[in-house]
Homo-oligomer: A and B are copies of this chain.
Amino acid sequence: MEIIDIKRSIYEDNDAEAEALRKRLLGEKTFLLNLMSSPGAGKTSVLKRLVTAMKDELSIGIMEADIDSDVDAIKLADCGVEVIQLHTGGMCHLDAGMTAQGLSHLKEKHDLVVLENVGNLVCPAEFDTGASANAMILSVPEGDDKPLKYPLMFEVCNLVLINKIDTAGVFDFDMEKARENIQMRNENARIIPVSAKTGEGMEEFFEWIRQRVLQ
């Protein structure tokens, strides 16, 4: 498995570069999903479910971005899809230039590429990666108040997966309150409660992907 050291973009205008990348990907019929969350919310586990379920109907590439380590890429390496590890060199987020660098290292053309961003609810939301859509995972143990505290993350996401719903019994997580708080930040965000552990709700997520991938 390849590990790529990506560098901070030399371009000053990240928004323009992000728009150009998004347009290019549309032309190439590649749907790029930027997946964000806190550390440990379950990005890799959700992706494992996704590639296992959808790899026969879609060509899928995964870009695992981390400050250090290749823990996540190793977890996905035996899933039968192309996985590359991006090292951000200490950077807390990816911008469009860094995302494009990562894409250039994928050996195949894919219908769906998922960028697993650095685990962080603050900085990744501030930089448009050029992705076709943004998704974030809020996990039940984190609490239903996170949209109040990290507003921008919820504002920029088209999809919010509420993960670890199998553990709802041991946490004070109010699903209705969570929905209200997310919708207060972003009334258009699609909200799907899931459990990457049991598989509950995942089919709805796969259908959301299906409707967006251009084959």
Q: List 6 A-B contacts (CB under 8 A).
A: A90-B152, A118-B122, A119-B121, A123-B123, A166-B170, A170-B170
Decide if A201 is an interface residue (CB 8 Å cutoff). Answer: no
Which of B72, B119, B166 meets A38, CB within 8 Å? B119
Which of B39, B71, B121, B170 meets A167, CB within 8 Å? B170
Beyond A40-B141, A72-B149, A119-B121, 10 additional pairs, beta carbon < 8 A:
A38-B38, A40-B139, A67-B122, A68-B150, A69-B151, A71-B145, A119-B149, A119-B150, A120-B122, A141-B167
Decide if A7 is an interface residue (CB 8 Å cutoff). Answer: no
Task: Determine the distance from Cα of A145 to Cα of B66 in the docked complex, in whole angstroms.
Answer: 13
Decide if A79 is an interface residue (CB 8 Å cutoff). Answer: no
A40 and B143: CB pair below 8 A?
yes
A195 → chain B, closest Cβ, in Å? 11
A178 → chain B, closest Cβ, in Å? 12
The size bracket of the interface on A is: 20 to 34
Q: Point out the residues of chain B lying under 8 angstroms from A148, CB to CB.
A: 68-69, 71
Interface string of A53-79 (1 = CB under 8 A from B): 000000000000011110110000000
A57 → chain B, closest Cβ, in Å? 29
Contacts A38-B38, A120-B121, A123-B123; is A67 near B139 (CB within 8 Å)?
Answer: no
Interface residues of A in 154-170 (CB under 8 A from B): 164, 166-167, 170
Determine the residue in chain B with the shortest Cβ distance to A164.
B141
A151 and B92: CB pair below 8 A?
no
A122 and B68: CB pair below 8 A?
no
Q: Point out the residues of chain B lying under 8 angstroms from A71, CB to CB.
A: 145, 148-149
A173 → chain B, closest Cβ, in Å? 10
A67 and B149: CB pair below 8 A?
yes
Task: Determine the distance from Cα of A150 to Cα of B68 in the docked complex, in whole angstroms.
Answer: 7
Decide if A146 is an interface residue (CB 8 Å cutoff). Answer: yes
Decide if A2 is an interface residue (CB 8 Å cutoff). Answer: no
Interface string of A6-18 (1 = CB under 8 A from B): 0000000000000
